[in-house]
Amino acid sequence: MSTLNKTVKRIHPKKFALWMGIVGMIMFFSAFTSAYIVRKASANWYNFPLPNEFFYSTIAILGSSLAFYLSKKAYLRADAKTFKGLYFLGFLLGFAFIGLQYAGWESLQAVGIDLVANQSSSFLYLITAAHVLHVMGGVVALVVLAVGLIRGRFDVPTPKRTLKIDLTFTYWHFVDILWLYLLVFFLIQQ
């Protein structure tokens, strides 16, 4: 009996698992960016400026993270209306990010910098596309949460609901920070 009553308060296993997953994703993108550095050190590497859309998309994803951050505060106050409003703002900005990344690829294509133009463009498409795929994973989680939200399941905070929100937002903030890292990386490498 005593075993069961005296439990040590630890991080929730699911949250911990998410952090472990994030560690794996960091290794995944570290491998890409290391390969980029190694390849760039050899000859035949064309530099080109990043499309402007990538900067707009940065603003979009930063905005979405901020909106989610504030929406969680509203959720904890049990302010369902503000929570929902900010949540859907973040949600839309998340979609805007994906759209703007796509627009960025289009404008690169338009000036002849396509996937196979040079190693530098291959890497840019590869890394940004891999990132967008990870963002899409976040969008799936956002949609699942949004369905519950519309049905009014998150109006009053409970530990289980908070966990769901935490897991989703933590991942979203991660893909946001990941994009910032990648953007700074590309800028430094130019």
Partner 1 sequence: MADINITEKELHAPQGGDGHGHGHDDHHHGDKYQSSFIDRYLFSMDHKTIAKQFLITGMFWAVIGAAMSVIFRLQLGFPDADLSWLQPLLGGWIDVDPASGKGTLSPDFYYALVTMHGTIIVFFVLTAGLSGTFSNLLIPLQIGARDMASPLMNMLSYWFFFLAGVIMFISLFLNTGPFSGGWVAYPPLSALPQASDGSKAGMTLWLLALVFFVVSTLLGGINYISTILNMRTKGMTMFRMPLTIWAFLLTAVLGLLSFPVVTSGFFMLMMDRMLGTSFFLDEIYVAGEALTDRVGGNAILYQHLFWFLGHPEVYIIVLPAMGLVSEVLSVHARKPIFGYKAMVFSILGIGVLSFLVWAHHMYVSGLNPFISNIFVLFTLIIAVPSAVKVFNWIATVWGGNMRYNSASLFSIGFVSLFISGGLTGIFLGNATIDMQQHDTYFVVAHFHTVMGVAAFFGMFSGIYHWFPTMFGRYMNETLGQIHYWGTLITAYAVFGPMHYQGMAGIPRRYYSFDTFQAFNQFDTMNQVITIAAIIAFFLQILFIINFFYSIYRGRKQTEQNPWGGTTLEWTVPINPGHGNWDGPIPEVHRWPYDISRYEDREFVMQNEPLAEGEVDGGH
User: Which residues of this protein are in contact with partner 1, per CB under 8 A?
Assistant: 1-14, 16-17, 20-21, 23-25, 27-32, 35, 38-39, 42, 44-45, 115-116, 118-119, 122-123, 126, 130, 159-160
45 vs 181, which CB is nearer to partner 1?
Answer: 45
Residue 92 beta carbon to partner 1: minimum distance, rounded to whole angstroms: 26
d(CA 90, CA 101): 17
44 vs 81, which CB is nearer to partner 1?
Answer: 44
Widest CA span in the chain: 71
CB 171 within 8 A of CB 61: no
Burial class (CB in 10 A: 0-12, 13-18, 19+), 120: buried
67 vs 105, which CB is nearer to partner 1?
Answer: 105
14, 9, 10: which is closest to 163 by C-alpha? Answer: 14
d(CA 174, CA 185): 16
Residue 158 beta carbon to partner 1: minimum distance, rounded to whole angstroms: 9
24 vs 112, which CB is nearer to partner 1?
Answer: 24
Residue 66 beta carbon to partner 1: minimum distance, rounded to whole angstroms: 27
Place of tokens 């973040």: 90
Residue 176 beta carbon to partner 1: minimum distance, rounded to whole angstroms: 19
